[in-house]
């Protein structure tokens, strides 16, 4: 028996969200729809210029962990915060979601990471992230017992920006595979893929990573193609399982043996797309670790993503499990025999 369904590893970030318009993005040289890495000086500048804002804990893998917990799964998290006000906010929030989080905070160093997220009227989010303390996540922060006790270890591609995090990921993958567990990653962002394409491909082709999550733009960036079909055929050969999200077009899941296409759920209103991919991963991984079929894993992912984009911010404000049960998506556990 394992203690955790999913262990998530990522950049521990407090999100600062504000609504704005496209002109603001242009005037401040912000790339729309992307995650832009910034330094402390620009973080202060953008903070001064942004309108009324809401602070809440975020970070891609942290959002996924919170989603797993909201679905009734067991989740753990590794991520580095500082011993400061925002670090305490992050720690409180993720533990309050029911996620096991015990990474030692950074003392006398950079402050806790924060991301200024500007949400335009179309619901698109443009992230401007100062990494701060989270670049100090390293192999010494890997809790071997938690890795060994998790069915799936999941990490975000953004972790390929801070160099010592790579060591933590490789060590976690080694421990996971030694205990018969699986390793998953999300490609995170097309610009992230551009920076580390060969390294990310090597993680897949070497067997370090078993499962990959990507959106359509990230997939095309990974294989430097404009064709979705070419990208799907390539990733089918490079990893055992991949889930590719396509916004309102739903998602496509591929293995070497099959292809499963699932539609997106209907929504009332797109409020904020922040965290859509993160919550898709949480739904999919909850299903996967509870022996759902691949189709039902994707359906649960679509449900979680659809819920999160109808609210402001990337952490569930209502019980995803209750919503999934009302949708009849919690009645298919144990049908595939993955044996995780």
For the segment 213-224, what is each residue's pLDDT rounded down to a tens digit?
A: 999 999 999 999
Averaged pLDDT of the chain: 93
Region 289-305: what's the mean pLDDT? 96
User: What pLDDT was estimated at residue 335?
Assistant: 53
Lookup: tokens for 224: 């430097």
Give pLDDT tens digits for 252-272. 999 999 999 999 999 999 888
Q: Encode pLDDT of 40-77 as tens digits.
A: 899 989 999 999 998 888 899 999 999 999 999 999 99
Instruction: Note the pLDDT of residue 123.
Output: 87
Structural contact between residues 69 and 94, judged by C-beta atoms closer than 8 angstroms = no
Q: Which of 203, 83, 73, 193 is nearest to 136 (CA)?
A: 83
Percent of the chain with pLDDT over 90: 82
Tokens 């009645």 found at: 331
| Tens digit of each residue's pLDDT (9 = 90 or more) over 305-331 | 999 999 988 889 999 999 999 999 887
Q: Which tens digits make up the pLDDT trace of 77-136?
A: 999 999 999 999 999 999 999 999 999 999 999 999 999 999 999 989 899 999 999 999
**pLDDT greater than 70 at residue 237:** yes
With a pLDDT cut of 70, the percent of the chain lying above it is 97
Using CA of residue 9, residue 247, residue 33, residue 195, what is the dihedral sign? positive
Q: Where are the alpha helices (DSSP H) in the chain?
A: 22-27, 40-49, 60-70, 85-96, 144-148, 163-178, 190-205, 216-223, 228-238, 276-289, 294-308, 320-326
């Amino acid at each position: 028996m394992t203690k955790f369904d999913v262990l998530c590893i990522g950049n521990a970030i407090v999100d600062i969200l504000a609504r704005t318009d496209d002109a603001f993005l242009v005037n401040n040289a912000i790339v729309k729809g992307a995650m832009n890495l910034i330094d402390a000086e620009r973080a202060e500048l953008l903070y001064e210029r942004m309108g009324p804002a809401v602070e809440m804990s975020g970070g891609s893998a942290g959002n996924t962990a919170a989603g797993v917990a909201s679905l009734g799964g067991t989740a753990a998290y590794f991520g580095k915060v500082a011993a400061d006000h925002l670090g305490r906010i992050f720690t409180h929030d993720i533990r309050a979601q029911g996620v096991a989080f015990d990474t030692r905070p950074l003392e006398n160093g950079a402050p806790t990471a924060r991301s200024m997220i500007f949400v335009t009227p179309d619901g698109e989010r443009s992230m401007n992230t100062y990494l701060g303390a989270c670049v100090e996540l390293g192999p010494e922060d890997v809790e071997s017992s938690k890795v060994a006790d998790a069915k799936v270890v999941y990490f975000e591609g953004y972790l390929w920006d801070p160099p010592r995090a790579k060591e933590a990921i490789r060590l976690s993958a080694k421990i996971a595979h030694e205990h018969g567990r699986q390793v998953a990653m999300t490609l995170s962002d097309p610009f992230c893929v551009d920076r580390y394409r060969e390294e990310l491909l090597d993680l897949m082709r070497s067997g370090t990573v078993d499962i990959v999550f990507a959106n359509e733009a990230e997939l095309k960036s990974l294989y430097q193609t404009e064709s979705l079909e070419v990208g799907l055929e390539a990733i089918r050969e490079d990893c055992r399982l991949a889930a590719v999200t396509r916004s309102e077009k739903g998602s496509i899941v591929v293995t070497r043996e099959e292809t499963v296409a699932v539609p997106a759920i209907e929504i009332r209103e797109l409020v904020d797309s922040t965290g859509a991919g993160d919550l898709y991963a949480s739904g999919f991984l909850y299903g996967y670790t509870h022996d759902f079929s691949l189709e039902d894993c994707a359906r649960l992912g679509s449900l979680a993503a659809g819920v999160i984009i109808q609210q402001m911010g990337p952490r569930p404000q209502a019980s995803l499990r209750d919503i999934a049960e009302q949708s009849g998506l919690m009645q298919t556990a144990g049908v595939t025999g993955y044996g995780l």
